[in-house]
Amino acid sequence: MESRLIVIAIGGNSLIEDSRHVTVSAQYEAASKTAAHIARLIKEGNRVVIVHGNGPQVGYILLRAEYARKILHAVPLDSCVADTQGAIGYQLQRALDNELGKLGLKKDVATVVTQVLVDDRDPSFSNPTKPIGSFMQKEEAEYHRQNDGWSVVEDAGRGWRRVVASPKPLEIIESGTVEKLLANDCVVIAAGGGGIPVVREADGSLTGREAVVDKDLAAALLARKIKADLFVISTAVERVCLNYNKPDEKKLGTITVSEAEEYMAQGHFAPGSMLPKIQAVTDFVRSSGNMGLITDPTHLYDALYSDAGTKIVLG
């Protein structure tokens, strides 16, 4: 079969199968299931870069820090992203090594702690809307606003939450490192959690920012930079749907960028769910001319080599 360079974006929630069981071992078991499907693609000769989400995991770090704030220092958000890149990268490395071994393959798997360039002038910094962390009482939220400079909002009567900027990713700082690893036949895990947001100062130095970069947009940017043949977003559903969970639900097979843009304009996709995934894939397809794909982990192989999943093409 044809060998391709594939960037696969998997959600942080894909490591959590049951919200009542979120231990490290349970997350590893979930990672192993996704790794088994990716290993089948690697066995076919494909080169693979994996980008993972980290939303729940960052939330856990922030919650631990909240409980320990009277005895330990706070953890900046850029460091939380770096922490989860290492921890989730380790889980995926180990899982892939084990699953590839079952298939009789030996491949080096490497995690790249990845910075992503953003712009301080991005509008999201003046209007942060991305909720992170757990719910708080008003008094607790006010404490953080005054003492830590947090932006906090009330969330539909459920409590208060911290909100941060979600700026557009402009450059993958370590993309060259990813390319060198691929050239040496490594499976690469990079840009975890959308990457660590950094800005470049006037003197050329990099400085971290308290922000969250959308994982799918960062993955699409990386896919364009390394000239991937295929960009895949692995999510909770086998196919993208119109009128999702309604009596007239329609599953989409192969659609063009123009059709995807029309569906977005009609409001078919939720802003906090499928919409950014469709936007990321269509951006990749439009700029590269290559195919994009959205499916769930179980159907990754069949989506590439059969008719599963939703494929987006230039048209």
Residue at 120: amino acid letter = D
How far, in Å, CA of 134 to CA of 168, rounded?
A: 24
How far, in Å, CA of 171 to CA of 264, rounded?
A: 26
Task: Give pairs for 87-92: CB < 8 Å, separation 24+.
Answer: 87/57, 88/12, 88/15, 88/31, 88/52, 88/54, 88/57, 88/192, 89/52, 89/113, 89/189, 89/192, 91/15, 91/24, 91/27, 91/28, 91/31, 92/31, 92/35, 92/50, 92/52, 92/189
C-beta of residue 283 within 8 angstroms of C-beta of residue 220: yes
Tokens of 44: 């076919």
Beta bridge partners of 197: 116
Catalytic residues: 12-13, 130, 215, 277
